[in-house]
């Protein structure tokens, strides 16, 4: 991790710069999904070359990058090629082995650091981090217990009735609600742990949520921090469906508390890059009423996609600036926005046959911005794209969002 008070050798990397061997400035990303694709777009817009390391030959990011290294994330030859091509390297998903980032960091600027990604990879470490930060962030995570052995399971089942009903979550490799089982009784907990394969888990108390929100923070090598205004998120079946990003989407005091907490959660570990911190809003008057921190993603996040069309700089622009050591622009939102996720279901009819969504009708509505990720196969629950809706005022954005949702059969907009 860099020392905040000193310049980092070799940074900034300007897009028009060449190295001693005359090779152009190139930014690298581990992972070839949609987040990598939008990162590549942002880097290229500034004039950088890009390199993507991703085994899938048809990956969303690989398809649009200057270089696509088609190897496994831990392949020494592929990693050597990435390090050779790039001056700075980032990751687009948190399940890339932390050791890989650590090894790359011996030769190149890597942001975020392996240690930060390692925390976000493991719910046990993540919750320990949030707990350690609580004194400065002012926000706690949901009450929980760690279950890594049959003995720990027995103790938690016998003694932690306070955590029921709860959600048993695998410590590693969960996303979009996968690797989670809701449990109401000690017997159900025991069965759920077996069902999850007896791997390391946390049992988290189920809280009465009134809302969910997230904050995108970007932090530079020199400690400069900027953040977007917190956004409100609606999940359906464990997957983000809708993001509301406009004045009034969240109570201002709560939004400010979330923003400040996210900044301190990033600062506590000297984080470099874009970090998304997700929060629960718990009913006032209940035992854990107020803001509760859920998890963090060491990268741009689905809930920040609205920044592509509603802000003067997107979350991907900030990732590029942060990793390359450029000054971070102060993000400013110029339009109210609603983001609607487009899952594979949009392309499937009731019998599971592929159909073409009614794009002409959707795109003729004012303020609709379609982003598709170039994935060939539409599967239920698969993130295929998103649609940002912007407009001159919140009411018109909501009206268009409702029309789009009706046209495409999208869930999650009932409450607006």
Angstrom distance (rounded) from CA 324 to CA 318: 10
Angstrom distance (rounded) from CA 398 to CA 409: 16
Angstrom distance (rounded) from CA 189 to CA 154: 10
**Is there a binding annotation on residue 254?**
no
Beta strands per DSSP E along 70-192:
88-91, 109-110, 140-141, 144-147, 166-170, 180-183
Smallest separation (angstroms) from ligand ATP to the CB of 174: 5
Cβ atoms 55, 79 nearer than 8 A: no
**Is there a binding annotation on residue 123?**
yes
Smallest separation (angstroms) from ligand ATP to the CB of 182: 9
**Is there a binding annotation on residue 94?**
no
Binding residues vs ligand ATP (CB under 6 A): 142, 167, 169, 174-178, 204-207, 209, 212, 235, 238, 278, 294-295
**Which C-beta is closer to ligand ATP: that of 238 or that of 252?**
238
**Is there a binding annotation on residue 207?**
yes
Smallest separation (angstroms) from ligand ATP to the CB of 154: 22
**Is there a binding annotation on residue 62?**
no
The two tokens of residue 23 are 């090779």
Helix/strand/coil for 360: helix
Helix/strand/coil for 125: helix
**Is there a binding annotation on residue 63?**
no
Cα-Cα-Cα-Cα dihedral sign, residues 339, 387, 179, 200: negative
Angstrom distance (rounded) from CA 166 to CA 184: 6
Smallest separation (angstroms) from ligand ATP to the CB of 168: 10
Prior bond to 184 cis, omega within 30? no
* Angle between the N-to-C axes of helices 315-324 and 34-46, in degrees from 0 to 180, rounded to the nearest 10: 70
Smallest separation (angstroms) from ligand ATP to the CB of 4: 29
**Is there a binding annotation on residue 294?**
yes
**Which C-beta is closer to ligand ATP: that of 26 or that of 231?**
231
Cβ atoms 306, 240 nearer than 8 A: no
**Is there a binding annotation on residue 354?**
no
Angstrom distance (rounded) from CA 309 to CA 174: 29
User: Residue 187, Cβ neighbours under 10 Å: how many?
Assistant: 10
**Which C-beta is closer to ligand ATP: that of 286 or that of 330?**
286
Nearest 5 degrees, angle CA 95-CA 100-CA 101? 85
**Is there a binding annotation on residue 315?**
no
| Residue among 327, 326, 330, 323 nearest 112 (CA) | 323
**Which C-beta is closer to ligand ATP: that of 10 or that of 208?**
208
**Which C-beta is closer to ligand ATP: that of 87 or that of 233?**
233
**Which C-beta is closer to ligand ATP: that of 142 or that of 328?**
142
**Is there a binding annotation on residue 290?**
no
**Is there a binding annotation on residue 178?**
yes
Smallest separation (angstroms) from ligand ATP to the CB of 265: 15
**Which C-beta is closer to ligand ATP: that of 204 or that of 345?**
204
**Is there a binding annotation on residue 177?**
yes
Q: Backbone dihedral region of 38: left (phi > 0), alpha (psi from -120 to 50 degrees) or beta?
A: alpha
Element at 99 (helix H, strand E): helix 98-104
Smallest separation (angstroms) from ligand ATP to the CB of 176: 4
Smallest separation (angstroms) from ligand ATP to the CB of 207: 4
Q: Report in angstroms the alpha-carbon separations of 408 from 37, 125, 373.
A: 24, 39, 17
Angstrom distance (rounded) from CA 319 to CA 202: 30
Smallest separation (angstroms) from ligand ATP to the CB of 270: 23
**Which C-beta is closer to ligand ATP: that of 104 or that of 202?**
202
**Which C-beta is closer to ligand ATP: that of 167 or that of 340?**
167
What are the two backbone dihedrals, phi and then psi, of residue 73, each rounded to the nearest 5 degrees? -65, -20
| Residue among 205, 218, 178 nearest 299 (CA) | 218
Binding residues: 123, 169, 174-180, 204-207, 212, 235, 294-295
The annotation places the binding site for ATP at: 123, 169, 174-180, 204-207, 212, 235, 294-295
């Amino acid at each position: 991790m860099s020392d905040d008070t000193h310049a980092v050798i070799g940074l900034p990397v300007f897009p028009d710069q060449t190295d001693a061997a005359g090779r152009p400035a190139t930014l690298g990303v581990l992972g070839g999904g949609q987040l990598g694709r939008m990162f590549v777009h942002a880097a290229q817009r500034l004039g950088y070359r890009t390199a993507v390391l991703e085994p899938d030959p048809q990956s969303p990011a690989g398809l649009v990058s200057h270089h696509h290294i088609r190897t496994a994330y831990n392949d020494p030859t592929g990693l050597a090629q990435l390090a050779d091509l790039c001056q700075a390297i980032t990751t687009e998903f948190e399940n890339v082995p932390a050791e890989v980032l650590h090894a790359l960091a011996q030769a190149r600027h890597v942001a975020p650091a392996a240690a930060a990604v390692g925390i976000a990879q493991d719910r046990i470490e993540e919750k320990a981090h949030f707990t350690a930060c609580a004194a400065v962030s002012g926000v706690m995570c949901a009450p929980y217990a760690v279950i890594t052995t049959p003995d720990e399971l027995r103790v938690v089942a016998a003694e932690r009735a306070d955590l029921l009903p709860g959600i048993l979550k695998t410590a590693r490799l969960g996303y979009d609600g996968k690797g989670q089982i809701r449990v109401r009784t000690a017997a159900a907990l025991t069965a759920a742990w077996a069902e999850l394969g007896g791997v390391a888990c946390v049992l988290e108390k189920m809280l009465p949520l009134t809302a969910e929100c997230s904050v995108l923070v970007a932090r530079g090598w020199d400690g400069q921090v900027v953040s977007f205004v917190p956004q409100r998120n609606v999940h359906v079946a464990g997957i983000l469906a809708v993001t509301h990003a406009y004045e009034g989407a969240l109570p201002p005091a709560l939004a400010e508390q979330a923003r400040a907490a996210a900044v301190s959660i990033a600062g506590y570990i000297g984080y470099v890059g874009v970090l998304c911190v997700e929060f629960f809003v718990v009913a006032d008057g209940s035992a854990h009423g107020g803001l509760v921190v859920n998890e963090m993603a060491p990268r741009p996040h689905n809930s920040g996609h609205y920044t592509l069309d509603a802000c003067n700089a997107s979350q991907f622009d900030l990732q590029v600036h942060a990793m390359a050591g450029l000054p971070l622009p102060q993000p400013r939102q110029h339009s109210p926005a609603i983001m609607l996720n487009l899952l594979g279901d949009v392309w499937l009819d009731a019998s599971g046959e592929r159909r073409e969504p009614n794009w002409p009708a959707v795109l003729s509505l004012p303020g609709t911005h379609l982003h598709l990720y170039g994935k060939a196969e539409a599967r239920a629950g698969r993130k295929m794209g998103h649609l940002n809706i912007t407009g001159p005022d919140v009411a018109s954005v909501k009206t268009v969002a409702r029309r789009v949702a009706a046209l495409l059969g999208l869930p999650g907009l009932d409450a607006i």
